Structure 1
Amino acid sequence: MDFTKKVVIITGAGSGIGAATAQLFAAYNANVIVSDINLDQAGLTARDIKKSGGMATVVQTDVTQFDQVKALVTDTVTTFGQLDVMVNNAGIGGKHQLKTAEHDHDDWHNVIAVNQTGVFYGMQTALQQMMLQGQGAIVNVASLAGLKASGNNLSYSASKYAVVGMTKSAALEYGRKNIRINAVCPGFTHSALLNQLLASSDTMEKNLKRMIPMGRFGEAKEIAEAICWLASDHSKFITGQTITLDGGTSL
Structure 2
Amino acid sequence: MQEFKDKLVVISGGVGDIGQAMAIAFLDAGSTVCLADKMDLEQATQKFPLLERESRLHYQQVDISDYEQVTHWLLGCRERYGALSICIPNASRVTLKNFQSISAQEWKDELDVNLHGAFYMANEAARLFIEDKVAGNIVFLGSWAGHAVHKNLPTYSVSKAAVRMLCQSMALEFAAYGIRVNEVAPGYVNAGLSKVVWADAPEQQTAASKVVPLGAILESEEVAKQVLWICSENSRLLTGATIVLDGGLSLIRP
TM-score of the aligned structures, taking structure 1 as reference length: 0.90
- Corresponding residue for residue 82 of structure 2: 81
- Corresponding residue for residue 45 of structure 2: 43
Counterpart AA for 1:180? R
Cα deviation per residue 1:63-85 (whole Å; 9 max; x = unaligned)?
A: 01111100111001111220000
- Corresponding residue for residue 219 of structure 2: 219
Q: Does 1:239 align with 2:206?
A: no
Query: In 2, Cα distance between the equivalents of 1:163 and 1:11?
Result: 15
Query: In 1, Cα distance between the equivalents of 2:122 and 2:47?
Result: 23
Counterpart AA for 1:58? Y
The SS at the match of 1:165 is: helix
- Corresponding residue for residue 69 of structure 2: 68
The SS at the match of 1:78 is: helix
Alpha-carbon shift at residue 203 of structure 1 (Å): 7.6
- Of stretches 66-75 and 224-233 in structure 1, the one that deviates more from structure 2 is 224-233
Superposed counterparts of 1:110-189, under 5 Å? 110-134=109-133, 135-189=135-189
Cα deviation per residue 1:122-151 (whole Å; 9 max; x = unaligned)?
A: 111101101112221100000001112122
Counterpart AA for 2:36? S
The SS at the match of 1:83 is: coil
Counterpart AA for 1:157? S
The SS at the match of 1:185 is: strand
Query: In 2, Cα distance between the equivalents of 1:45 and 1:101?
Result: 35
Alpha-carbon shift at residue 196 of structure 1 (Å): 7.3
Identical aligned residues as a percent? 30
Query: In 2, Cα distance between the equivalents of 1:58 and 1:202?
Result: 33
Q: Is the 8 A contact 2:51 2:58 kept in 1?
A: no
Q: Is the 8 A contact 1:13 1:42 kept in 2?
A: no
Q: Is the 8 A contact 2:45 2:51 kept in 1?
A: no
Alignment RMSD (CA, Å): 2.3
TM-score of the aligned structures, taking structure 2 as reference length: 0.89
The SS at the match of 1:86 is: strand
- Structure 1's 41 and 213: CA in aligned 2 closer, same or farther, altered over 3 A? farther
Cα deviation per residue 1:61-106 (whole Å; 9 max; x = unaligned)?
A: 1101111100111001111220000000011111xx3332333333
Query: In 2, Cα distance between the equivalents of 1:154 and 1:70?
Result: 29
The SS at the match of 1:58 is: strand
- Of stretches 145-154 and 83-92 in structure 1, the one that deviates more from structure 2 is 145-154
Query: In 2, Cα distance between the equivalents of 1:61 and 1:175?
Result: 29
The SS at the match of 2:250 is: coil
Question: Structure 2: which 5+ runs fail to align?
Answer: none
Cα deviation per residue 1:133-177 (whole Å; 9 max; x = unaligned)?
A: 222110000000111212221110011001101000000011111
Equivalences, count: 247
Query: In 1, Cα distance between the equivalents of 2:126 and 2:184?
Result: 19
- Structure 1's 44 and 55: CA in aligned 2 closer, same or farther, altered over 3 A? farther
The SS at the match of 1:149 is: coil
- Structure 1's 41 and 240: CA in aligned 2 closer, same or farther, altered over 3 A? farther
Q: Is the 8 A contact 1:34 1:57 kept in 2?
A: yes
Question: Structure 1: which 5+ runs fail to align?
Answer: none
- Of stretches 38-47 and 73-82 in structure 1, the one that deviates more from structure 2 is 38-47
Query: In 1, Cα distance between the equivalents of 2:180 and 2:143?
Result: 19
Counterpart AA for 1:194? S
Query: In 2, Cα distance between the equivalents of 1:221 and 1:71?
Result: 29
